[in-house]
Each structure stands twice: as structure tokens, then as C-alpha cells.
Amino acid sequence: MTSFSAEWLAAREPHDAAARAVELVGLLRARELMTQTGTGTPDAVARAIVDLGAGSGANLRWLLPRLGGVQAWQLIDHDPALLAAAETAIHDWALRTGADAHAASSARGAAVGESLDDIVVTGAEFVCRVHRTRIDLAADLDRIELPQRALVTSSALLDLVSAEWLRALVSRCHRASADVYFSLTYDGRTVCTPADDTDAEVLELFNRHQGGDKGFGPALGPTAGLRAVDSFVARGYRVASRTSDWRIGPDAAPFQRELLAGWLGAALEIAPERRATLEAWHRRRLAHVDAGVSTLVVGHVDLLGMCARS
């Protein structure tokens, strides 16, 4: 499956945080997802949260303090380097935010996948035990431990997966009566300012590239958000969806350059015969970035699905 570097994930994390649809977290809290409120001990009954394609734990760092209470997270990823990086990233985040984080022996062992030590994180309004497990999501979705009535979550994952994989995920979540919260799914919308005559061509080529195989089979790409909504609704879920667009201003010039390089590379893979036109577009866009006048808006959607329960 597609891999992302720790550096790329760190670069996008503040933009993800600014874009997320906070309203959906309010709906989660209103549903009383947490089995306890306030703080407790890591051994108390905790809300189980399974983070698919967790990387270095950015989803946890954003969601944990906003949900509060007692939580038990499983961070699932195929990349051992990212799972190892999660420990440092969580410790650094805890230090910055006044929380405490320390390593603890795994309470689960290594029976499923390859496990690392747990991390216990305690803040003013939350306590959490974090378990990290290496599993290839594309090949081994069925091996993931999914407790009944867990919350299944991911960030920037659904647009990479195939329709078949999404169906399997929906089925597993439904069988476990699990709620779902999927954030930052790319939806195909991008607006560059100042506008350029070649922007539309680059976007069309990039979106075609997003439908290629990212390790799960043909990817859903920009259709993923709508497909996920339809799939969960068909299983009886109550679904709320909100936009969560990146709005990347002139003050984020390095990140803009990374995005533009990625878009160019993807477009060239689809239409190598258009190299001269596409590289000229790239030079013009970089000139706007260097002049401090470039803004990029990249469309994403967040989705909350609440399972019907007796």
C-alpha cells in the first residue's frame, strides 16, 4: 500500500488540524461515545478507538483532547517506522500541551501483527492508553481487533482504498456495531489563486491519477466520500458529512511547493506528452508562491457515521 514519510505527515498536520470539521466532534460527544467522563486510570473501562492507517498518530493528537474522558486507542499501520515515530510525536505533543506521556508494557502482547510498547497519555480532561500494531490494511483487514461498539477512525485514507475494500470495512464496522469517523477524505476540488489557464487540466489529470492503485486495488479517489456515505447509510447508519478544506495561504510557501511538485508529478504520469505545458504551469505557480500571492484550497470531507443500536 502507499507509504508516506514522517516528514510529509508532519508538514500536513497543522493544515489538517485547521481544516477538520469540529462540529462532528460535538455530535460524537452528544452521542455520549465516552463510557466515562473526566479522568480516570488507564485500567478503567475505556472507549475503544481503532485508528486505521494511523501513521505517526496525528489523528489521535487532534481527537483525544476533544473527546476527553477515558480512551483506549489502537494505532494500526503497515509502516514500522511511522509507528515508531508515533512515540516521539506523542511525547513531544504531550510536552507542548501540558499532558504527560510515558511508555508502558503492552497489555495485549504481539499476538496480532507486530506490537510495540504502549503509551499512556494523561491530560487535565482525558486519560488514554495507546497500543500500536503493525498490520497491512490492504491484505489483513480481518486481522484487526475490532471491539464491539468501538469507534473506527482514519484520516486521509478512504480516497486511497478500493470499492471492494470499503465494502469489507463497512461490513466489519456494522457487525461490530461500531461508529465511524473518517476525516480529510480528498473530494476532487482544488482552487488555485491567482488562477491559471492550465489549472483545470492539471486538476483533471491529478484526479485521474488518484483513481490508480494505491495498494488496495483501483482507488476510489475523489468519489470516496460520497461512496462511503452511501455505503454506511445502506447499512442503517445515521451519517453526517461536512467539508474540511485545506486553505493554504502565502505563509505556508514550503508546503505549497510540496503540493505543486506532487500535482506536477502525478499529472506527468498520466500525460507525459504534455510535459512542456505542465512544467510551464509549474513554473508559473511557483512564481506566485515566491511572490507571496499564492493561495491553494484543497477540498476534503469529514464523515461521521452512527450505527443503529438496540
Tell me the per-residue pLDDT of 106-160, one tens digit each, with 9 for 90 and over.
Answer: 755 444 445 578 999 999 999 999 999 999 999 999 999 999 999 999 999 999 9
Tell me what pLDDT residue 115 has. Answer: 58
Q: Per-residue pLDDT averaged across 41-60, rounded?
A: 85
pLDDT at residue 93 is higher than 80: yes
Q: Which of 54, 108, 63 shows the shortest CA–CA distance to 85?
A: 54
Report the range of poorest mean pLDDT among 23-32, 64-73, 93-102, 296-305.
23-32
Task: Compute the distance between CA of residue 158 and CA of residue 269 in angstroms, rounded to an integer.
Answer: 22
Distances (CA, A) of 287 to 194, 205, 256, 280, 298: 11, 22, 12, 11, 19
Q: What angle do CA 42, 44, 49 make, to 5 degrees?
A: 70
Label the pairing between strands 118-122 and 69-77.
unpaired
pLDDT classification of 33: cutoffs 50, 70, 90: very low
Residue 223 C-alpha cell reads as 468519489
Tell me what pLDDT residue 4 has. Answer: 80
pLDDT classification of 6: cutoffs 50, 70, 90: confident
pLDDT at residue 55 is higher than 90: yes
Quick: pLDDT tens for 211-227. Answer: 999 999 999 999 999 99
Rounded to two decimals, the pTM is 0.92
Tell me what pLDDT residue 260 has. Answer: 98
Quick: pLDDT tens for 157-175. Answer: 999 999 999 999 999 999 9
Q: Match 489557464 to its residue by C-alpha cell.
A: 197
Q: Per-residue pLDDT averaged across 33-48, rounded?
A: 55
**DSSP helix, strand, coil percent of the chain (3-state; round to 5):** 45, 25, 30
Quick: pLDDT tens for 187-219. Answer: 999 999 999 999 999 999 999 999 999 999 999
**Rg of the chain, C-alpha, whole Å:** 20
pLDDT at residue 37 is higher than 90: no
Tell me what pLDDT residue 220 has. Answer: 98
